[in-house]
Every structure is written in structure tokens, then in C-alpha cells.
Chains A and B, each alone.
Chain A
């Protein structure tokens, strides 16, 4: 089994978001970066499959050098080697074509990633990668089992889930509860230091670019209603907020 897990490096989910240079740049100052939470689920399932079926697990990140601690963490969790495509991941098509260019001719059976990144939330990279490689893509996948060349998976749908069967190779966008997040142990952290991490120059072009950032308008004050008189809220929702 040859598995590729694509990870993003994103601000910790508790980060306070702010911008600089006239709102044209995200402020990285004071921000703690993590492996994208959804990518972390994909990685955890990838490591489990690699452990039970053998083979190799490569982790790929499209990102700048400051993503390397997250890549090393993925190696510590259980990836065998890593690739970093040295570019700012600003556009879905760009990231997807970098992944597809790398994957081409390498014979990966399974390409896993999160259903979306928690910074730009596009949720389309897996689909574009699948199209560029001409193989099926599914998302959001919450269960994944492999038997020979056949994957049985469950994807979340509105109001439930859909179980399906597909033959490898596949591209999957993952989410919980596909596996539990893994924490690297000491041995993993030590061995990650010497695992190979190749850095490759990008070869494609972005089709979108961010011109300006903006923060939402601050919320007005919260109107408090006493618990005794809770029923009066419904009238307010109807006549004042006009949502009923």
C-alpha cells in the first residue's frame, strides 16, 4: 500500500485573526501553527492503514519553510518521508495542481487529506486533484476500510451518511470519526529528525489572489431576558428581530 497524506499548516483554532500592511496580509505574529485539524484525521487513518497493511506513507505539504515543524510532527506521528512544495498555498487550483504534479507516475494507491483547511475553508482541493489525475474523489469521508484493491467508505450527507465501495486509486477528503487524532511519542519525535524531507520548487500558477482582508463588524450588545419571562423572547424574535 502506497499512501500519500496531504497536510496544511494552519493557525491554531483559538487564534485571534488580524491583518497588517493595510489589511493586505495576514498577521503571523503570535500565531501558533498546527496541522490542519481535518488533515490530522486523515493522517491518523493513514498511519493506522500503513501500520496494519505495510507499505509506505508519505506526507506532503504545499507551504513555506515555516510549515516544517508541522511536517516533522506528521513524521513523528508515523509518516515515513515527507515532501514540501515550496510555495505559499494561496489558491485551491494551485495547491491541487502541485499535488497532482507530484503524484503523477508515482503509483500512490490512496491520497488522503482533510475535507477542508480551517483557514480558507474551500473544501475543493481533493476534488480538483481527483479530476487532474482522472481518478474518483470523495468527501467528507468519515469511515474507511480497505480490502485488497477495494475501499469501503462512508461519507457524510445532509442528514445522514452514505456507504460506498470504490476501487483504488482514490482521493479522499477526511473528517472525524475516521480515526482519533494521534499524539507523537518520544521515539517518534526522535526518529522524525532523521526521516527524509524533500523540498521541491512549485511548477504551476495560481488562478486567484487575495487583494484585501476584512474583519466582521463587531456584534451589538446582547439583549438579556429574564428566565421567568422566557416566553417573551419569542415575541421579540417575531416583532423585533423578524426571524419568525
Chain B
């Protein structure tokens, strides 16, 4: 059995979630006694790509094409399915992300492969092929067996603690012709917050709810996020009210996050909000209402006014 890991780049470097997928893929390859290949499409230096070796890869296939945007999803999924075919890969792994999900979905469709997402553990391969995945937005798990010959799995963030070595992987060029597949769509404009930590990738997240009272009060929260190097997030009403941009909205109908630390400021902890954050390792809740439901899902809690508590936390972080 051979394993193929589909990875993504951000600013010429592997995304952290992709390094996690490489590490996961190498563990799967060891488990099934097969080899592992990493596929990367986009522009990056060979030295950067060789770093896949630190996380268990020996070989990286690099298609030096334009970075992935929505307009080349079809082209990229074709590269992935063709590469899987030519390597006779039977297990294809990626980390979940909105573009990788699209590429994986189309490639799985092309190969008639069973695809399971939100996988949270290494597969069980002693009898068939089973993976444990999170379902009901983190409220439960399902042990799922994949019965097709080729198996696609997309892993959740923070599934395995990364172990880094100092090996380096061989980088091979892969030439691809993706031209004809992009004609039916065209990106007109990309609007992206710059210089901020990406929310789905973040290890630390500071999030605000309606208890923040208005967009003009966000500075106290931004200060803490900046001191921590954390990404910022918000509850649904906050983005509905346009206090914060939509891409910060977490929960059942928003971004699902799984950071090491999630700090909730003035958020009540409605079940739909918890659904997007319950995979966080440690949850801190700051709320002036001691009966707020969020405390039941929290590891640490402070009953108090956010505007009083936030500056104290920021000062304590700066004093570290």
C-alpha cells in the first residue's frame, strides 16, 4: 500500500496543517508497510520543500504551477488523481481546508474513492480500514470503515503532536499541463486581511461575543490577541451585526477551530457556538454572568467584566 499526501503552501512554505498531514501520512505508511510521497503544487523553493523530510517524508513531488485559487481547483484535482493513479497510491491524505477539501472531493470522485473527513486518529488497519472521525460538529465520533480500493482521508487539526527530525526529503519536479481546465472560471479579486494570524490554522484564538457591546470596544481584545500572537474570532451575532468580518465567525455555521487555547470574551456559549470550538484543547471563558452555559464547557473561567479582565490578561502576557 502506498500513501500520497496532498499538501498546501502559504507564502512559499508548507502550511502547518500540511506538515501535520505529512507526519500523519508517514505514520500511516509505517503502519501499513508502504511508502509515502508528498504532492505539492505551487511555487516554493526546493530547500523549503525538503523540510517535509523533518516530518517523515522521503520524497516530494513538486508541480511548480500557480498557487491554488478557486479557479484551478479542477486542474489541481486532476493533478492529484493522476498522480495517485501513476503511483498506484491506495491511501490519499490531506489536512482539511476549504480548497484542499474541494481538490480532495473532486479527485476522490474521479477515482471512485471513499472519502472520510475530520479524521481524529490514525487508522485501524489490522482488520479492514477504519478511521475515527468527528461528527455532529464535534459532538460525537464515528468509527467509519472505507471499503473502496482507494481511500481518501482528510485529517482535523492537532490530531497528532508533531515530532520533528532533521531529515531532508528528495524533491522531484512534476510537470503538469493544467491549462485547459481553468478557462471556465476566473478570479476577479481577492480580499484578504494581511498581517493577521490565519484562524483555521491558529494555535491560539481570542474570540468575542455580543458581550463586547460594539465594534468600537474590540481594541482590548485585539491587544490581547496581539500580545499572544493569536488569531481573532467572534460569535455569529457579532458577524451578523457587522461588528467583525464574516470569516471570523466560528461555530456550527461558521469556521470550526481546534486551537490549543480558545479564549471566549462575552460569549454565552450557545450550543451552536460550542459546536465550532469544542475541539479546542483548553478553553478559557470570561463572562460577567456566573450562570453562562459556556462555563460548563470551559477549563478555566473568570466571572467578571471583559473590559476589566482583558487589560489585566494583556499586561500579564507582556510580563511573561
Contacts and interface: CB of A to CB of B under 8 A. Distances in A.
Nearest to B104: A124
B213 interface: no
B69 A127 contact: no
Contacts, number: 288
Contacts of A215: 139-141
A11 B272 CA distance: 12
Nearest to B305: A227
Interface stretch (A58-66, A69-77, A151-159, A193-201): A151-159
A206 B275 CA distance: 27
Contact of A127 (B106, B184, B298, B309): B106
A116 B275 CA distance: 14
A68 interface: no
A214 interface: yes
A210 B158 CA distance: 23
A231 B312 contact: yes
A222 B299 contact: yes
B190 A136 contact: no
A153 to B, nearest CB: 9
Contact of B136 (A37, A91, A118, A158): A118
Nearest to B149: A207
Given A13-B252, A158-B98, A163 B137 contact: no
Interface residues of A, number: 80
B84 interface: no
A136 B73 CA distance: 8
Contacts of B319: 231
B201 interface: yes
B247 A225 contact: no
A165 B186 contact: yes
A123 B117 contact: yes
Q: Give the interface centre of B185, B256, B308 by most chain A CB atoms within 10 Å.
A: B185
B58 to A, nearest CB: 29
B297 interface: yes
Contacts of B201: 158
A128 interface: yes
Given A17-B140, A162-B70, A222-B301, A208 B147 contact: yes
Interface string B75-116: 001000000000000000000011101111111111011111
A185 interface: no
Contact of A137 (B73, B252, B312): B73
Contacts of A124: 101-102, 104-105, 108, 115, 117
Given A177-B246, A237-B300, A164 B70 contact: yes
A214 B97 contact: no
B134 to A, nearest CB: 7
A164 B312 CA distance: 44
A131 B193 contact: no
Contacts of B136: 11, 17, 118-121
Given A121-B135, A222-B299, A38 B253 contact: yes
Nearest to A160: B192
Most buried by A among B104, B108, B118: B108
A128 B140 contact: no
B188 A207 contact: no
A37 B253 contact: yes
Contacts of B73: 127, 136-138
A163 B296 contact: no
Given A124-B101, A207-B148, A237-B300, A159 B247 contact: yes
A152 B188 CA distance: 9
Contact of B144 (A121, A157, A209): A209
A146 interface: no
B204 interface: yes
Contacts of A233: 284, 300, 302, 313, 316
Contacts of B312: 230-231
A159 B199 contact: yes
Contacts of A38: 253
Interface string B249-285: 0001100100011000000000110010010011011
10 contacts: A118-B136, A119-B135, A120-B135, A130-B106, A138-B70, A161-B246, A213-B135, A225-B302, A237-B282, A244-B317
Given A211-B143, A236-B300, 8 more contacts: A126-B105, A138-B102, A206-B147, A222-B295, A224-B302, A233-B313, A243-B281, A244-B317
Interface of A: 11, 13-14, 17, 19, 37-38, 91-93, 96, 118-132, 136-140, 142, 152, 155-167, 175-177, 206-216, 219-220, 222-227, 230-238, 241, 243-244
Interface of B: 69-71, 73-74, 77, 97-99, 101-110, 112-118, 130, 132, 134-148, 184-193, 196, 198-201, 203-204, 228, 240, 245-247, 252-253, 256, 260-261, 271-272, 275, 278, 281-282, 284-285, 295-305, 308-309, 312-313, 315-317, 319-320
The 6 closest A-B pairs by CB, nearest first: A127-B105, A227-B304, A207-B114, A131-B109, A231-B316, A160-B192
